[in-house]
Structure 1
Amino acid sequence: MTRLPALFLSHGAPTLPIDPSMPSGEFAALSTQLPRPNAILMLSAHWGTAAPVASTAQQPETIHDFYGFPRALYEIRYPAPGAPDVARRAAAQLSEQGLLATTQSHGLDHGAWVPMLLMFPAADIPVAQLSIQPHMDAAHHFRVGRALRALKDDGVMVIGSGQITHNLRSADFSAGPNDADPRVAEFTDWFEERLAARDIDALLDYRSRAPHAVLMHPTDEHLLPVFAALGAADDDYTLSVQSLGTYQRTLAMTNYVFGSA
């Protein structure tokens, strides 16, 4: 089959599937441009552990890991089957590279099921989730991605799910799409330029080199999944960018596809 791309998705707020003002349809459009995977390995910003953990759940539960949202959101279920074999292989490959990984049964948090619901609503593609390590840096997650790269040859799509900018403290939830802080674009433009140039060294050192990096990510758990996706990408990847705008003044939504040349 076609060698699969690796993806980074900005999953937005949990309300993405039910809020008509948010770009949910664009996720569906993106999925039509991708080869169909045999399984998905998802790294979400919302499952953090001290060391990598891969979920071997046979039928992952839909985790509603948020509070104070409309009732309809809590009634959503994403009943995709798990991919325990993929999880076990991912853990083995990480351990072989010195990134000692374990397995356990774990459901899909909203960073995983929200984009999957929009992209693959039939819920017929097996999904396994792999935790991130919020206390570790970009280089660690790039190394995680490198260890996972071989999974793509077996039809497994590696997806990182987070947010290209994520500072809730500076967000303005009354702001419109045209009220974006100009510093958001300065950061995302730098990041996209470095991705297009395949400048891995600069990207891994983004907190020192990117404009407004600490403002855009006071803590970087929502950006760490992009480095895992980047690590899983081919050395000569082609970059496709789906820019979905900036919401609440500082929360940009951009999706990246790291394709095979």
Structure 2
Amino acid sequence: MTLLPSLYISHGSPMTALQPGQVGGRLAELAASLPRPRAIVIASAHWPSAQPQVGGHAQPPTIHDFGGFPEPLYQIQYPAPGAPMLANQVQQLLSSAGLPAQVDALRGLDHGAWVPLRFLYPDASIPVVPLSLQPHLGPSHQLALGRALAPLREQGVLLVGSGSITHNLHDWRNYQDGKEAPYVRPFIGWIEERLAADDVEALLDYRRQAPFAERAHPTDEHLQPLHFAIGAAGEGALGAQRIDAGIDMGMLAMDIYRFDGAGA
């Protein structure tokens, strides 16, 4: 079976579902370039937990985990099936790697999962298993989660981390007039350079080394899915490719990355 890449996707605001900007087209193009996966495991910034949780619902509900948005947004459904057997396999792989995990048979798909997936695979026919992250444990932990699951890429499973390459919602009112936040391009440029250099250590230490890290990510739960995707690329060269999907609202960079590393 063809080795799938791992992906990091900036999912943006929930409004991306109605106003996709560049990211909708970029994700459609990306899906068209990939072998069709048999299933997807997606780690979203919007499912934090104390320890790893794996969604084992047979038909994960669409979670509208936000408030104050236009009514049409709440009508969107992404009725992809789940994959309980794959969820159990994910749980076993994580536990075998020293990352004790539990299966949550009730968990649905939050907007960090269904917003990008409906542009990747709008027919919602590919089974999806959501995975929680543990932001309090730091980037190295998310890297370990990804590495534990890297063998699934050889089994036709697409491993996805969903977050935002920059995410400072304190600034959302400040850049509505077409201006860009001055920290966005230096930060995303540094990320691109370090990924191209396979400099995983620097990326794990990004809060100290990257320019404007604290402005780009006052909290880092939206960047840690990148570390999951890096881990899922496996050992050795990452094979990182950046897909530029623009900057939303002047401060949310919508970068997408694929990692064609050799896997486990």
- Name the TM-score, length of structure 1 as normaliser: 0.96
Report how far residue 173 of structure 1 moved. 6.6
Q: Which residue of 2 aligns with 1:161?
A: 162
User: Which residues of 2 match residues 212-231 of structure 1 at below 5 A?
Assistant: 212-231=212-231
Q: Is the 8 A contact 2:22 2:246 kept in 1?
A: no
Query: Is this contact kept in 1: 2:42–2:162, CA < 8 A?
Result: yes
Give 3-state SS (helix, strand or coil) of 1:16's partner: helix
Distance 1:110 1:26, change over 3 A: same
**Structure-to-structure mapping, 1:34-73, within 5 angstroms:** 34-73=34-73
Q: How far is the alpha carbon of 1:23 from its aligned partner?
A: 3.4
- Give CA deviations for 1:96-130 in whole Å, capped at 9, x if unaligned: 11111111121000000010111100011000001
SS in 1 for 2:153: helix
Task: State the AA in 2 paired with 1:112.
Answer: A
Counterpart-to-counterpart distance in 1, 2:28 and 2:155: 24
Q: Which amino acid aligns with 2:65?
A: D
- For the 8 Å contact 1:233–1:259, the answer to whether it is kept is yes
Note the 1:1-261 alignment, pairs <5 A: 1-19=1-19, 21=21, 23-105=23-105, 106-172=107-173, 175-176=176-177, 178-234=178-234, 235-260=236-261
C-alpha distance in 2 between matches for 1:68 and 1:127:
27
Q: What displacement does 1:169 show? A: 0.2
**What SS does structure 2 have at the residue aligned with 1:135?**
helix
One-letter amino acid of the structure 2 residue matched with residue 130 of structure 1: L
Runs of 4+ in 1 over 6 A off after TM superposition: none
Unaligned runs of 5+ in 2: none
What's the RMSD between the two structures over aligned residues?
Answer: 1.4
Q: Return the letter of the residue paired with 1:115.
A: P
Of residues 240-249 and 103-112 in structure 1, the stretch that sits farther from structure 2 once superposed is 240-249
Note if contact 2:187-2:211 (Cα within 8 Å) is conserved in structure 1.
Answer: yes
Output the amino acid matched with 1:9. I
> Normalising by the residue count of structure 2, what TM-score does the alignment of the two structures yield?
0.95
CA contact (8 A) 1:7 1:159 kept: yes
| Separation of aligned partners in 2, 1:87 and 1:212 | 37
Tell me: CA distance 1:173–1:24, structure 2 relative to 1, closer, same or farther (3 Å): farther
CA shift at 1:175, angstroms?
2.1
AA of the residue aligned to 1:138: P
- Name the stretch that deviates more: 4-13 or 29-38: 29-38
| Cα deviation 1:182-230 (Å, max 9, x = unaligned) | 3211111001110011001101011110011111111100011110110
- Equivalent residue letter for 2:155: D
State the number of aligned residues.
260
Rounded to whole Å, the distance in 2 between the matches of 1:163 and 1:126 is 23
Mean Cα deviation higher: 57-66 or 78-87: 78-87
Tell me the distance in 1 between the aligned counterparts of 2:75 and 2:154: 36
Consecutive unaligned residues in structure 1, runs of 5 or more? none
User: Structure 2: how far apart are the matches of 1:140 and 1:186?
Assistant: 26
CA distance in 1, matches of 2:17, 2:109: 15
Find the aligned partners of 1:16 and 1:82 in 2 and give their Cα distance: 23
Deviates more, 1:229-238 or 1:144-153: 229-238
